[in-house]
Amino acid sequence: MPNDREHKPLRGTETVIGRRMMEDKTYVEDIDRSIYDIKNEDRDAFRLSKGLTAAIVEQISEEKNDPLWMRQFRLRSLERYHQMQAPDWGPALDGLNMDHIVTYVRPNTSMKAKWSEVPREIKDTFQRLGIPQAERTSLAGVGAQYDSELVYHNVRREVEEQGVVYTDMESALTGPQADMVREHFMKLVPPGDHKFAALHGAVWSGGSFVYVPPGVSVAIPLQSYFRLNAPGAGQFEHTLIIVDEGADLHFIEGCSAPKYNVANLHAGCVELFVGKHAKLRYSTIENWSKNMYNLNTKRAVVEEGGTIQWVSGSFGSHVSYLYPMSILKGKGARAEFTGITFAGKGQNLDTGAKVVHSAPQTSSYMNTRSISKDGGISTFRSSVVVAKEAAGSKAAVSCQSLMLDSISRSDTIPAMDIRTRDADIGHEAKIGRISDEAVFYLMSRGISEEDARAMIVSGFADNVSKELPLEYAVEMNNLIRLEMIGSIG
Amino acid sequence: MEQEWKMTINQLPSPTWNWLCMNESSLEHIKTENWGMSMETEIPWGIQCDWLQSAAEEQGGVLGGMGRDMDGLAAAGGRILRITAKEGHVEEQPVLLHAVCRDGANGIQKVEIHAEENSCVTVIMDAVSGQQDSGMAAIQTQLFVGKKASIRLVQLQMLGEGFLHLCDVGAVCQEGGRARVLQLQLGGSRVYSGLLAQLDGTDSCMEAKVGYLGRKKQRLDMNHVAKHMGARSQSRILASGVLRDQAWKLFRGTIDFAPGASDSEGEEREEVLLLGEEIVNQTIPLILCGEENVRGSHGASIGRLDEEMLFYLESRGIGAAQAEDMMVRARLDALCGEIPREESRNLVQNYVKGVISHGKE
């Protein structure tokens, strides 16, 4: 679009200008996601046939050399999966047919500890995503998963020397941490939790295990990055993090995939155990391709005086169901959730958070922003449950939504269930459009309308980006800019 | 004919997690035999009052907040009371509808209120019984608000401690039409209330204010919806109440902006004072938005008495129990003050006073 109005003198009232902006708006059909959209040729070493049967699940166990308990666990989970109904309250899942999903794709390499040993094509993919560079400059350890398996895992020696364990789930399952894994694996998110938790229990593969010993503070973050390359495949990584008493960790999770014409599925599971007076920050920038069904489950349990902080940016996926849950089990435990969701054309992103206060003097704070444009649907869904035992608890929820056009939707569905009189609960939500006055102000200072709107949206998202390490905040702001380009005529 | 009804009511316009048990409510074993509710009326001269003999004569088509199952039950109630303010008529005196419910009996009444173009009418409807009485009182009220017309509906529920009360309101507002509803849900053991206002016309508006006093094992289940269809439509929903003892309350409030409702505004607010050791307070305030150029907001403030205020009152010799009573009364008085008739205000204030002092025995 010609940008000839950038420096035009502005006349008339703000209302008139606002109306003109609305009338002139045009929309770009799709967004350039070239960095994320690069596809590698399918050169996997092994893939299972499509569908979900007991034979396929047994084959996964065979491939992964599961211990007996895990083989049995997978089969029990599959039974639960077949018994359970798909959710009847969220975005439609009609386009997801498990008979067409390949649940396990092993890349043509084993896990390496050096990038130089990772096959060139895969390494190039992660390089384009900036992972090795981020590792060099700002991370204490990195795990990189490609389709169903990790292809790279490394942790800095000084972190290892602190006693921190950061490894892939498969190694943890059979290595020195085997008992710890068995004690915690899918205890927080049992397979009976919902249909896709059961699916995860049956076919999980890959993911990371982290253990931070008592009192250890990991000064710089660990990161796992999940890349799904195979069309029509599912990714089911499991992340299990145990932060022991008084310890402190920041864990970053990133994910992306190229776009295909067939549905892909992500049904990962994250279980976080935050010990007494420990602190865990879990940051996610989710940028799955827009053919992805992202049905992920994340949950944390927090002991006395502990803190869980979720930072979540949801930009990709065709359909998302994503609501990190915090269970405040110990006295004085705290949860914070900061999130942004950006739903564009063809996206139906149902995101939010859940908190359960089950001990006295616990506190939680949810602060979210959502943006919808080009026919995208964004739903903020939350629940705050304060049990009878949680006397003296406090919870606050704040959600704001921005609609960039009238072909999109933005819904807010927050629930509160309070069962003690000794609680303070605050909730506020706002929905609206970009203020014409703010755009007018910026344009009167020589900023184009497109840039003005992008600036306002970036400012709107600032509560999340300021919570992220600088490199990731930059990536998130780039994503917003990418999404905003061309949305104004 | 004796019939037992099973109903699904108060459905959330957009459902959420089933485990929260907030998506809808179910009622079983609703009986329609043993009629025992009389509707006494006081109609000002300028207002037309008709008793329609069958459902065939009703205007129909207005969905209430409780949903379609309530229509079936209301139809079983027989005669329909229709109140009409003719075109251009502005009535200063309120219409008084007095539902008297008998102990052990069931009562169903459907009421239509029509305000034709440029007319204005106020209806004060109360539902009463003996304090210890039980039974069922179901009232469905439909508001037809014509162009630039106004209907103000005041519903005062002071039923006995064993009553099941179903209170369904549906409203349709044409261009410039205004519907205002004030509800005080003070009695009953199980109270289900729904309100759906469809703002079809440009510049139409609705205001709903609900006050409640939940006590003992009372169960209050509400579903209020403002559906914005017309441009520049406005809605405001305010729920304010107190929960004592083992009272259980679920308030669903929805502001729904349909595409085309540009320049519309919706506001929803809930304030709950928690006083009981074993109360359950559930709140789910929705904003559904399919239109860019709107402003919607909701807020909730749920908690106990402000400690600073308690400290202040105690420093002036007012004990915690007395302070609680003061706050309960203050909260309800704020809404009570909006009842546009002194006798009705006194009735409510005496009822609240009686309930509070009774609770201390």
Residues of B in contact with A428 (CB under 8 A): 297-300
Mean pLDDT value across residues A50-56: 90
- Residue-level pLDDT at A20: 31
Q: Chain A contact for B305, CB < 8 A?
A: no
What is the domain count for chain B?
1
Structural Rg of chain A based on CA atoms: 23
Task: Tell me what pLDDT residue A37 has.
Answer: 65
Convert the pLDDT of each residue in B318-336 to its tens digit: 887 888 888 888 888 889 9
CB contact under 8 A, A433 and B262: no
Q: How far is A302 from A330, CA to CA, in rounded Å?
A: 6
Q: Which helix (H) or strand (E) holds A153?
A: strand A149-155
Determine, for residues B23 and A425 on separate chains, whether the beta-carbon distance falls below 8 Å. no
Q: CA-CA distance, B328 to B353, in Å (whole number)? A: 10
Q: Which residue of A has its CA nearest to B274?
A: A421
- Global ipTM: 0.93
Residues in A touching B280 (Cβ below 8 Å): 417-419
Q: Is residue B329 part of a domain?
A: no
Percent over 90 (pLDDT), chain A: 51
- In which domain, by residue range, is B197 found? 4-305
Contact B304 A427 (CB under 8 A): no
Residue of A370, A372, A410, A413 best to disrupt the B interface, most CBs of B under 10 A: A413
What's the mean pLDDT in A63-86? 95
For A192, phi and psi rounded to 5 degrees? -80, 0
Per-position DSSP letters for A206-265, written without gaps between them: --EEEEE-TT-B-SS-EEEEEE--STTBEE--EEEEEE-TT-EEEEEEEEE----SS-EE
Cβ–Cβ below 8 Å for B302 and A403:
no
pTM of the model: 0.90
Choose from A321, A374, A417 for mutation: most chain B CBs within 10 A.
A417
Q: Which residues on chain A are in Cβ contact (under 8 Å) with B221?
A: none
Q: What is the mean pLDDT of residues A13-37?
A: 40
For residue A421, give the nearest of B17, B20, B274 by CB distance.
B274
A433 to B301: CB separation less than 8 angstroms, yes or no: no
Cβ-nearest to B274 among A418, A426, A430 = A418
CB within 8 A of A377, min separation 6: which ones? A91, A343, A347, A348, A349, A408, A409, A410, A411
Query: Three-state SS for A305?
Result: coil
Q: In whole angstroms, what is the distance from residue B38 CA to residue B36 CA? A: 7
- β-pairing, A222-227 vs A141-146, is parallel
Asked if residue B350 is part of any domain, the answer here is no
d(CA A409, CA A266): 24
Q: Which of A381, A409, A421 sits opposite B276 (nearest CB)?
A: A421
For residue A319, report the phi and psi dihedrals to the nearest 5 degrees: -135, 135
**Is the residue at B321 inside a domain?**
no
CA distance A201 to A57: 10
Which among A383, A406, A426 has CB closest to B20?
A: A383
What confidence tier does A487 reach under pLDDT thresholds 50, 70, 90? Answer: very low
pLDDT at B5: 81
- Which residues of A sit within 8 Å Cβ distance of B? 22, 88-89, 381, 383, 388, 401, 403-406, 408-433
**Cα B268 from Cα B227, distance rounded (Å):** 13
User: At A168, is the secondary structure helix, strand, or coil?
Assistant: strand
Mutation target to probe the A interface, by most A beta carbons within 10 A, among B302, B304, B305, B307 is B302
Partner-chain residue, chosen from A419, A421, A426, that has the shortest CB–CB distance to B275 = A421
The tens digit of pLDDT for each residue in A176-192 reads 999 999 999 999 999 99
Alpha-carbon distances of A273 from A295, A303, A359, A367, B63, rounded to whole Å: 21, 8, 16, 22, 48
Mean pLDDT of A364-373: 93
Q: Per residue in A324-333, pLDDT tens?
A: 999 999 999 9
Q: What is the tens place of the pLDDT at every residue in A289-306?
A: 888 999 999 999 999 999
Average pLDDT over residues B84-101: 96
Contact partners, residue A161, CB within 8 Å, separation at least 6: none
Give the span between the Cα atoms of A18 and A25, in whole angstroms: 11
pLDDT of residue B33 exceeding 70, the answer is: yes
* Cα of A177 to nearest chain B Cα, Å: 34
A-facing residues of B in 190-249 (CB < 8 A) are 243
**How far is residue A208's CA from residue A172's CA, in Å, rounded to a whole number?**
9
Residues of A in contact with B304 (CB under 8 A): 421-424
Nearest to B28 by CA among B69, B64, B78: B69
**Å between B281 CA and nearest CA of chain A:** 5
Who among A88, A423, A429 is closest to B297 (CB)?
Answer: A429
Q: Which residues contact A305 (CB under 8 A, 6 or more apart)?
A: A276, A277, A330, A331, A332, A333
Q: Count interface pairs A-B at CB distance under 8 A.
A: 135
B257 domain residue, yes or no: yes
- Cβ-Cβ contacts under 8 Å, B262 against chain A: 406
C-alpha closest to that of B108 among B30, B212, B225, B6: B30
Percent of chain B scoring above 70 in pLDDT = 96
Contact B287 A408 (CB under 8 A): no
Domain ranges in chain A?
A: 1-30+434-453+462-489, 44-433+454-461
Lowest mean pLDDT among A11-20, A212-221, A452-461: A11-20
The pairing of strands B205-214 and B234-243 is parallel
